């Protein structure tokens, strides 16, 4: 059974590199659009009883590229292909937060200069508990934007005048027990791929490890860890003295895997959002439980809420756990979109005495003004893989500030092994 590889228009350079590693030529497929915007696909050769691989990264105009992928898969399956595998270096729709974001993709929180309280602690430091107590004592003094929009029965709380009734209404909306439901599309995307005819999916560094559970077909999630570890060993001076940093608690396991493989130190940046308002109905008094002085006045009027998003009920604290003073720090993350997380992390590390800050990313989406934010940040060098095209990144930041890791050999070897019925488990630890 011969192998056939089709490539979409999301990342033609990566398609060419994968085919070079396999020593084959990509098959002909004509991609286009009709005047009304519908996707047009023409397959240029027979795929009957062949093993077909369709390479399409979920970037750029995501919905268009994903529709291209579905149509090519369906066309190959209809043309009697023996097996069709979707190769998605970056799997779109696999990372969607369950909290509201702005139009530009930023979380609905205030600027870190205004609301973040930064504390640091070294492993075994006895001052950790006192730092946490100090942080807790500041909870009543700081305000930030809420991640949950204020809904006031059709009224705009930002444009209306302040009154106790309006403040009471805002309090009701924030404490009604209903959290805005942001739809997760994982099951839908999996069903679309399987319905189109995909028999297998190959991807890299899924943001959510449980995402393959949406599928009833095999999903091979390759890792960028071996490539990242190899880059650190050969391209970062004195890497033995470096510190691997996770910018949030969710990425700790990913960062510690690299730190353990290279026997490096590890640091964690922990972000926590706490409510500074007491839960309860608007007429509840502070005697119902709380740390503020007892008062017979209703809670809302006691706190004197104003109708601005700056006076929301959530504040944010940030804590650095680990010693980074005079060290080279390597921030490890799987995906960067708006770049808020890594730029804040870089600034915190520099404030705590880090000498050099690298940011090592698998999927660099960089939407909106993310690249401008990175350019003005404390990040000294950005290392990103080519699962997504990075020409604009290099153009915006310069060749001296960006290094691109090539993942084509890993995907090429995975395709070869799967086609020949071999195990790909060695790629998880050793790469290629």
Res. 28: pLDDT tops 80: yes
Please tell me whether residues 85 and 122 are part of one structural domain: no
Please tell me whether residues 196 and 86 are part of one structural domain: yes
Determine whether 103 is exposed, middle or buried from the number of CB atoms within 10 Å of its CB (0-12, 13-18, 19+): exposed
pLDDT, tens only, 226-256: 999 999 999 999 899 999 999 988 888 889 9
Confidence of residue 306 (pLDDT cuts 50, 70, 90): very low
Task: Judge whether 378 lies within some domain.
Answer: yes
Please tell me whether residues 238 and 284 are part of one structural domain: no
Question: How many domains are there within the chain?
Answer: 3
Q: Tell me the residue range of the domain where 236 lies.
A: 225-270+322-405
pLDDT, tens only, 126-137: 444 454 444 444
- Do 182 and 96 contact (CB within 8 A), yes or no? yes
pTM of the model: 0.74
Last residue in a domain, options 262, 293, 318: 318
The residue whose two tokens read 């500074």 is 276
Please tell me whether residues 75 and 198 are part of one structural domain: yes
Write the CATH number for 12: 3.40.50.2020
CA 386/CA 363 separation, integer angstroms:
8
Strand order in the sheet with 328-336: 116-121, 314-321, 265-275, 243-246, 328-336, 356-364, 381-385, 402-405
Please tell me whether residues 13 and 151 are part of one structural domain: no
For residue 140, give the 3-state DSSP assignment. Answer: helix
Please tell me whether residues 262 and 338 are part of one structural domain: yes
Please tell me whether residues 67 and 163 are part of one structural domain: no
How many CB atoms within 10 Å of residue 387? 30
Task: Judge whether 154 lies within some domain.
Answer: yes
The stretches of 239-379 forming alpha helices (DSSP H) are 252-262, 299-303, 340-351, 370-375
Res. 111: pLDDT tops 50: no
User: In this structure, which long-range contacts are made by residues 160-166, counting pairs with CB atoms below 8 Å and at least 24 apart in sequence?
Assistant: 160/307, 161/307, 162/306, 162/307, 164/300, 164/301, 166/307
Please tell me whether residues 59 and 170 are part of one structural domain: no
Q: The tokens of 264 are what?
A: 């490096």
Task: Judge whether 37 lies within some domain.
Answer: yes
Please tell me whether residues 167 and 193 are part of one structural domain: no
Task: Judge whether 264 lies within some domain.
Answer: yes
Q: Which of 10-24, 152-166, 180-194 has the highest mean pLDDT?
A: 10-24
Task: Judge whether 101 lies within some domain.
Answer: no
- Do 165 and 152 contact (CB within 8 A), yes or no? no
Residue 307: its pLDDT value, please? 37
Please tell me whether residues 9 and 25 are part of one structural domain: yes
Please tell me whether residues 249 and 348 are part of one structural domain: yes
The stretches of 221-280 forming alpha helices (DSSP H) are 225-235, 252-262
Helices 186-196 & 62-78 angle (0-180, nearest 10): 30
**pLDDT mean over 187-210:** 92
Q: The tokens of 394 are what?
A: 């290099």
Q: Which of 98-102, 163-167, 242-246, 340-344 has the highest mean pLDDT?
A: 242-246
pLDDT, tens only, 377-432: 999 999 999 999 999 999 999 999 999 999 999 999 999 999 999 999 888 877 66
CA 397/CA 394 separation, integer angstroms:
5
Task: Judge whether 104 lies within some domain.
Answer: no
Task: Judge whether 395 lies within some domain.
Answer: yes
Task: Judge whether 207 lies within some domain.
Answer: yes
Please tell me whether residues 251 and 343 are part of one structural domain: yes
Strand order in the sheet with 200-204: 3-7, 51-55, 83-88, 200-204, 219-222
């Amino acid at each position: 059974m011969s192998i056939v590889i089709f490539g979409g228009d999301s990342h033609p350079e990566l398609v060419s590199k994968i085919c070079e590693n396999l020593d084959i030529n990509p098959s002909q497929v004509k991609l286009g659009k009709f005047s009304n915007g519908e996707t047009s696909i023409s397959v240029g050769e027979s795929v009957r009883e062949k093993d077909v691989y369709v390479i399409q990264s979920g970037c750029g105009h995501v919905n268009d590229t994903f529709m291209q992928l579905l149509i090519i898969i369906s066309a190959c399956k209809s043309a009697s292909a023996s097996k069709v595998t979707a190769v998605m270096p970056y799997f779109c729709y696999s990372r969607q937060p369950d909290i509201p974001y702005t139009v530009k993709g930023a979380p609905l929180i205030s600027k870190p200069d205004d609301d973040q309280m930064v504390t640091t602690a070294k492993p075994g430091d006895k001052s950790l508990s006192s730092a946490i107590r100090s942080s807790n004592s500041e909870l009543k003094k700081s305000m930030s934007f809420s991640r949950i929009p204020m809904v006031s029965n059709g009224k705009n709380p930002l444009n209306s005048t302040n009154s106790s009734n309006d403040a009471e209404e805002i309090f009701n909306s924030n404490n009604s027990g209903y959290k805005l439901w942001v739809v997760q599309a994982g099951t839908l995307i999996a069903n679309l791929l399987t319905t189109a005819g995909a028999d297998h999916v190959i991807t890299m560094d899924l943001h959510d490890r449980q995402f393959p559970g949406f599928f009833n077909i095999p999903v091979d999630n390759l890792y960028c860890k071996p490539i990242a570890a190899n880059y650190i060993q050969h391209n970062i001076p004195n890497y033995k003295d470096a510190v691997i940093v996770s910018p949030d608690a969710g990425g700790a396991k990913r960062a510690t895997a690299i730190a353990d493989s290279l026997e490096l130190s590890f640091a964690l940046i922990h972000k926590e959002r706490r409510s500074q308002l007491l839960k309860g109905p608007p007429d509840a008094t502070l005697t119902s439980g709380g740390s503020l002085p007892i008062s017979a006045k209703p809670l809302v009027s006691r706190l004197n809420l104003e109708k601005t998003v700056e006076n929301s009920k959530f504040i944010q604290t940030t804590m650095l756990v680990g010693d980074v003073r005079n060290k080279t720090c390597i921030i490890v993350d799987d995906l960067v979109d708006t770049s808020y997380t890594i730029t804040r992390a870089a600034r915190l590390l520099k404030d705590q005495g880090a000498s050099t800050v690298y940011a090592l990313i698998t999927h660099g989406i960089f939407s909106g003004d993310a690249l401008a934010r990175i350019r003005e940040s404390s990040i000294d060098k950005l290392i990103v893989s080519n699962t997504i095209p990075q020409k604009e990144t290099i153009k915006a930041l310069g060749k001296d500030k960006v290094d691109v890791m090539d993942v084509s050999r890993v995907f090429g070897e995975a395709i070869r092994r799967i086609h020949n019925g071999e195990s790909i488990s060695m790629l998880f630890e050793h790469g290629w």
